[in-house]
């Protein structure tokens, strides 16, 4: 705000948006996602709204510069000057990596190339949570064939960008007509050699531990476990003793909300608390004989993962 918001007319504010509210915390890929969204913004001359951010944060002094949050999508009219976007990526450390993108020169669009898959059988894979939902997917795909899309592109998207559920079908066709026939039969629940369908059998009951990152905390977290689980309480106290020489507060006091204890609003407080809670929870599960087949960590949770592995 101090850099871009000052000396701007109130009627021509700097518009502020975010990609994190669309896709969540992407760690090292956050900057790339911001660049992709910004390039699309320049390309389509439209400023997309920021999801889940209807009210500006009260913790920011919005009066310090002419900056407004994009709570609604807005057109980006041509002013005779190149459009520009600034992209910031703060990462896990808070260090700001900033890049400025400028609208490129207009170039004539290349003529569309005809699809080269006619005559080649390209499988289209579908999956859903129920047989009816699987038929619904087929019905939604039918209108797509009117545009004669690339069978390879559609098949690749269906195979790599969709979640996999138990009810599955594979459509086989070497032409638009054959693919239309297969989709129509699946949509209406009729058998055809062009559709292979079935239900998966899940037999893997192994356990995975997930250590979450910052943002998973809440007021009152772990209080009940401190009182009801001796294993949890003992490990939590061990963490507190190890932390004590480096801070001026108590882990137990923070979790119990004792007067004078710092709050979860402080990063230097919430991160050690989350560490202690996750480590203590892992000890509880182990005390019941639960050993994970795999352990994963997200964001700050990767530090707990390294602890688990003995690094």
Residues 133-178 have pLDDT tens digits of 999 999 999 999 888 888 889 999 998 888 889 999 999 988 999 9
Shared domain for 74 and 141, answered yes or no, is: no
Amino acid 169: pLDDT: 94
Task: Give backbone dihedrals phi and psi of 268, rounded to 5 degrees, phi first.
Answer: -70, -10
Spatial distance between the Cα atoms of 147 and 32, rounded to a whole number of angstroms: 31
Which of these, 271, 286, 166, lies nearest to 235 by C-alpha position?
286
149: left (phi over 0), alpha (psi -120 to 50) or beta: beta
Q: Which range (103-107, 131-135, 150-154, 183-187) has the least confidence?
A: 103-107
Shared domain for 168 and 229, answered yes or no, is: no
Beta strands in 129-233 (DSSP E): 167-171, 195-199, 208-211
What CATH number is attached to the domain comprising 55?
3.40.47.10
- Which residues have C-beta within 8 Å of that of residue 54, sequence separation ≥ 6? 71
- Which residues have C-beta within 8 Å of that of residue 245, sequence separation ≥ 6? none
- Residue where one domain finishes, among candidates 172, 199, 226: 199
Count of domains for the chain: 3
Domain that holds residue 141: 124-199
Shared domain for 192 and 227, answered yes or no, is: no
Beta strands in 83-235 (DSSP E): 84-89, 97-102, 124-128, 167-171, 195-199, 208-211
């Amino acid at each position: 705000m101090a850099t871009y918001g000052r000396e701007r007319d109130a009627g021509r504010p700097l518009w502020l948006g975010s990609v994190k509210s669309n896709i969540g915390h992407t760690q090292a890929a956050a900057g790339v996602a911001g660049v992709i969204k910004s390039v699309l913004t320049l390309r389509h001359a439209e400023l997309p709204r920021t999801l889940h951010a209807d009210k500006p944060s009260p913790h920011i002094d919005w009066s310090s510069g002419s900056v407004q949050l994009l709570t609604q999508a807005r057109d980006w009219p041509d002013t005779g000057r190149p459009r520009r976007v600034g992209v910031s990526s703060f990462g896990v450390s808070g260090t700001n990596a900033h890049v400025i993108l400028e609208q490129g020169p207009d170039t004539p669009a290349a003529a569309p190339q005809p699809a080269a898959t006619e005559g080649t059988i390209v499988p289209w894979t579908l999956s859903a949570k129920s047989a009816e939902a699987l038929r619904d997917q087929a019905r939604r795909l039918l209108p797509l064939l009117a545009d004669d899309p690339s069978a390879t592109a559609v098949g690749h998207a269906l195979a790599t960008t969709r979640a996999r559920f138990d009810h599955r079908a594979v459509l086989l066709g070497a032409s638009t007509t054959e693919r239309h026939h297969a989709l129509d039969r699946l949509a209406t629940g009729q058998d055809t050699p062009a559709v292979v369908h079935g239900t998966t059998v899940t037999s893997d009951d192994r356990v995975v531990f997930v250590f979450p990152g910052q943002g998973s905390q809440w007021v009152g977290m772990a209080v009940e476990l401190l009182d009801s689980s001796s294993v949890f309480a003992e490990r939590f106290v061990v963490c507190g003793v190890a932390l004590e020489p480096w801070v001026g507060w108590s882990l137990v006091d923070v979790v119990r909300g004792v007067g004078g204890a710092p709050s979860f609003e402080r990063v230097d407080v919430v991160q050690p608390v989350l560490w202690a809670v996750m480590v203590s929870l892992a000890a509880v599960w182990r005390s019941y004989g639960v050993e994970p087949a795999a352990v994963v960590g997200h964001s700050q949770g990767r530090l707990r993962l390294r602890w688990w592995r003995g690094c």
